[in-house]
């Protein structure tokens, strides 16, 4: 039977927690990849994998990535929502691997909203 | 130099616009995407434990996929209608595609799909395929898919079992959390290593899926 090597996982976890134990606040940024059938069929998994890779590379502990269902904008999939604490959530549309990496590095890490990939620019008129 | 008639250019543009998703491969081209879709259904049903089984039986030339959850389940009438593409519980659009696409794929490979569900207890979906069927889609990027789910769904436990003939591989996030600590699986470095281990285990078992 092929077995998991839990000791190897424990070693990795040990290294990581030593490296990042100084930063232990809550999540500042939440990235949601929409994973309805529509999202999955148009490439949301590739987008999710790209986000996870960038998160690992950044070593940031205050960014979480999660998935959710169909947001009703199936023709705009893959969709990604980035929420920074205290700011309005931004919905990105037609996201792909390189766009996701740019959104992660510029918006999630640096706080620059990537309006060129966002669903809408500006706010609705009151 | 002659270019095509102007209507052709306009037509091409229209096709380009309408087919924007097609260009990027709007399809479920891997069984791991179907599994991801089934797991997402279970998550929408507020499952706390999701069991995933991939069973390869070379002697019977059979591949079965199983996703079982302890979510809110469905009433009998709803369960019967679930693989109808024109049935959906969502309010955001009028068609539900996930199960019907998987069923069509399974039937194209001399297989089928069954769904059992009990209100308040959970849902169990099983799909099977002829392992060597020329139309059977490959499992594809499964190790990254399952470890991505584990990382992004911290409130949910996964039990994944993969059999190839008599050989078996199991991954239980409840066990991993007990051994490594509650938050260990929230770390992408840990799930990246988990992904490599799943990859190695599948290669070692000689997975043909």
Q: Is A80 an 8 Å CB contact of chain B?
A: no
The residues near B150 (Cβ < 8 Å, ≥ 6 apart) are: B158, B173, B185, B191, B194
The larger pLDDT score, comparing residue B67 to residue B20, is at: B67
pLDDT tens-digit series, residues A57-76: 998 889 999 999 888 888 89
Is residue A89 classed exposed, middle or buried when 0-12, 13-18 and 19+ CB atoms within 10 A define those classes?
exposed
* pLDDT at residue B26, rounded to an integer: 56
Closest partner residue to A56 (CB to CB) among B32, B189, B197 is: B189
Report the chain B residue with the minimal C-alpha distance to residue A30.
Answer: B152
Contacts of B189 in chain A (CB under 8 A): 12-13, 15-16, 56
Please, what are the domains in chain A? 27-121 (3.40.30.10)
* pLDDT at residue B1, rounded to an integer: 43
pLDDT, average across residues A41-51 = 95
d(CA B208, CA B163): 11
pLDDT, average across residues B95-111 = 86
Q: Is A22 an 8 Å CB contact of chain B?
A: no
Is residue B54 classed exposed, middle or buried when 0-12, 13-18 and 19+ CB atoms within 10 A define those classes?
buried
Q: Is A84 an 8 Å CB contact of chain B?
A: no
Interface of B with A in 165-204 (CB under 8 A): 167-171, 176, 179-181, 184, 186-194, 197, 200-202, 204
Neighbours of B167 (CB within 10 A): 15
**pTM assigned to the model:** 0.84
* pLDDT at residue B14, rounded to an integer: 38
Contact B191 A10 (CB under 8 A): no
Q: Residue B3: pLDDT above 50? A: no
Closest partner residue to A2 (CB to CB) among B26, B145, B205 is: B205
- Residue B141 tokens read as 């990027």
The larger pLDDT score, comparing residue B180 to residue A102, is at: A102
Number of H-type helices and E-type strands within chain B: 8, 6
Q: What is the DSSP letter of A76?
A: G
Neighbours of A60 (CB within 10 A): 19
Q: Residue B19: pLDDT above 60? A: no
The residues near B169 (Cβ < 8 Å, ≥ 6 apart) are: A1, A2, A3, B161, B162, B163, B198, B201, B202, B205
Closest partner residue to B190 (CB to CB) among A16, A49, A70 is: A16
Report the chain B residue with the minimal C-alpha distance to residue A9.
Answer: B190
Contact A70 B36 (CB under 8 A): no
Contact B188 A45 (CB under 8 A): no
ipTM of the complex: 0.83
* pLDDT at residue B97, rounded to an integer: 73
Where does the pLDDT of residue B28 fall: very low under 50, low under 70, confident under 90, or very high at 90 and above? confident
For residue A64, list its beta bridge partners: A30
């Amino acid at each position: 039977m092929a077995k998991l090597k839990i000791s190897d996982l424990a070693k990795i976890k040990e290294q990581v927690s030593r490296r990042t134990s100084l930063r232990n606040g809550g999540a500042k940024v939440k990235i949601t990849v929409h994973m309805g059938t529509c999202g999955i069929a148009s490439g949301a998994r590739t987008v999710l994998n790209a986000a996870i890779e960038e998160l690992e590379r950044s070593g940031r502990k205050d960014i979480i990535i999660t998935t959710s269902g169909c947001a009703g904008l199936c023709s705009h999939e893959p969709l990604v929502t980035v929420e920074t604490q205290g700011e309005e959530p931004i919905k990105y549309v037609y996201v792909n691997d390189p766009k996701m990496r740019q959104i992660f590095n510029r918006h999630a890490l640096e706080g620059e909203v990537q309006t060129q990939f966002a669903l809408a620019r500006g706010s609705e008129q009151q | 130099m002659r270019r095509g008639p102007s209507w052709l250019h306009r037509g091409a543009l229209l096709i380009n616009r309408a087919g924007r998703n097609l260009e990027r491969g709007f399809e479920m081209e891997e069984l791991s995407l179907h599994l991801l879709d089934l797991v997402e259904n279970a998550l929408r049903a507020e499952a706390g434990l999701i069991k995933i089984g991939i069973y390869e039986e070379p002697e019977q030339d059979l591949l079965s996929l199983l996703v079982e959850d302890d979510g809110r389940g469905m009433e009998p009438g709803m369960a019967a209608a679930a693989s109808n593409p024109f049935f959906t519980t969502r309010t955001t659009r009028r068609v539900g595609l996930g199960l019907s696409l998987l069923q069509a794929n399974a039937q194209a490979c001399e297989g089928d799909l069954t769904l059992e569900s009990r209100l308040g207890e959970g849902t169990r979906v099983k799909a099977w395929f002829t392992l060597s069927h020329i139309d059977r889609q490959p499992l594809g990027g499964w190790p990254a898919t399952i470890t991505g789910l584990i990382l992004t769904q911290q409130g949910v436990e996964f039990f994944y079992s993969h059999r190839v003939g008599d050989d078996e591989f199991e991954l239980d996030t409840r066990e991993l959390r007990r051994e490594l600590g509650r938050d260990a699986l929230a770390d992408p470095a840990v799930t990246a290593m988990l992904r490599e281990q799943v990859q190695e285990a599948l290669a070692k078992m000689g997975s043909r899926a």
